[in-house]
Amino acid sequence: MREIKFRFWNKTLRRMSAAYGLGLIWEHLCEEWDVFDWKDVEKLQYTGLTDKDDAEIYEWDIVEVHRGMDGQEDIWRITIEDIRNLPRELSGSNLISRTVIGNVYENPELKE
């Protein structure tokens, strides 16, 4: 079963938080960012997947996916928009590797 945890993008401070489980969110975010308004925060949920370097993959991450079959290799750049509908390119028998290369907030230039 996938661990349920989140990280947060603060629109005002333009900073990403660390990842927190459900029980620690409020305590750690208040400590990390002082006081903030929830309307200024984007919630990004953990997908349950990691990349080749064991980096956790969250919603709105940009992931480079290498897939191969019959000696051919394809490279995909995928933005994870909703964990309820993960792109099937992220897994499968012909997956070679996946690497988090950024996210849409800190690296908008990488978006497809």
For residue 83 the two structure tokens come to: 């964990």
Give the residues across from 64 on adjacent strands.
77, 99
Per-residue pLDDT at 69: 81
Give the residues across from 9 on adjacent strands.
16, 42
Please list the ranges in the chain whose pLDDT falls under 50: none
pTM: 0.81
- Contact between 6 and 43 under an 8 Å Cβ cutoff? The reply is yes
Per-residue pLDDT at 62: 93
Whose CA is closest to 3, among 49, 39, 34?
49
For residue 72 the two structure tokens come to: 């051919």
Per-residue pLDDT at 39: 77
Per-residue pLDDT at 101: 93
Per-residue pLDDT at 77: 84
